[in-house]
Structure 1
């Protein structure tokens, strides 16, 4: 478990850095697009496509970080009202649903990436598969983050129960 949590620390940190890098690229190219279009009257044909692609990558990598920090839409209100064990069960059940969703998304994204390899991005000579690859790659990062979140929740519940018994 400890090694998996270390792996998740590394992968989520990597996802965060890559997500930020893609967001910076998207913002810079969007600014470039606006300047070339309105200041010079000659819009760039390639910057919009790369901006959109960078945003897709940024979002899919950023979701792993959001799961790590508990920033996804959750059932906190209901979970906090329930007794601790039931709240943990609800948390695990909700995360199991997310695990299933992102596992299916990873598989289907992989198949779709394979399907579009022969197509290229508009205005570029690059395969559109590089954009579609954000689905399986991002989903892999997300799956690792969800599993680690579930492990941390179970460990935290076990530690809390152990501490409560020790206090008696």
Structure 2
């Protein structure tokens, strides 16, 4: 199991790095769009579409790190109010439902990406499949992170006192 957690940590770092790069790109492209539109009075024809695509990639690549760090919609309040076994069952149930959901998103994203291969993005003359590919790629990273988050969640005692921060 530790080998799987090492793999998950590695793939999550890749996903986080990609999410950061795409977020920086989306921000830069958005600033470029504002400058060309309002300062030069001649909006760029391609930067809005590229910024939107980069934002989509940033969001989907950020799913795995969110699961890794426990930042997805949390059920911690309910879990800590339950007995230990029921809390663990809740961790497993929520993880399995998340895994099922992202499996469907992966499959649908894959089929949508294949379906739009011949279409191009306005202003970029690049296949729109590059934007749609964020769904299967990002959810693939999430499908690795979710089981690892279940394993980590089961290894923690939700009723244990929170350690005090050292000065």
Q: Name the structure 1 match of 2:78.
A: 78
Q: Where does the alignment leave 5 or more consecutive residues of structure 1 unmatched?
A: 161-168
> Structure 2-normalised TM-score?
0.91
User: Counterparts of 1:14-163 in structure 2 under 5 Å?
Assistant: 14-156=14-156
Measured in 2, the distance between the counterparts of 1:152 and 1:132 equals 31
Q: Name the structure 2 match of 1:166.
A: none
Q: Deviations over 1:52-76 (max 9, x none)?
A: 0000000001111111111111211
Ranges of 4+ aligned residues in structure 1 off by more than 6 Å: none
Measured in 1, the distance between the counterparts of 2:90 and 2:39 equals 54
Q: Name the structure 2 match of 1:164.
A: none
Measured in 2, the distance between the counterparts of 1:72 and 1:155 equals 18
Q: CA deviation at 1:151?
A: 1.6
Q: Name the structure 2 match of 1:163.
A: none
Q: Where does the alignment leave 5 or more consecutive residues of structure 2 unmatched?
A: 161-167
The number of residues matched between the two structures is: 158
Higher helix share: 1
Measured in 1, the distance between the counterparts of 2:25 and 2:124 equals 17
CA contact (8 A) 2:91 2:154 kept: no
CA contact (8 A) 2:68 2:145 kept: yes
Aligned partner of residue 123 in structure 1, secondary structure:
coil
Q: CA deviation at 1:127?
A: 0.3
CA RMSD of aligned residues (A): 1.2
Q: Deviations over 1:114-143 (max 9, x none)?
A: 000000001111000000000000000011
Q: Deviations over 1:64-100 (max 9, x none)?
A: 1111111111211111100111101111101110000
> Structure 1-normalised TM-score?
0.91
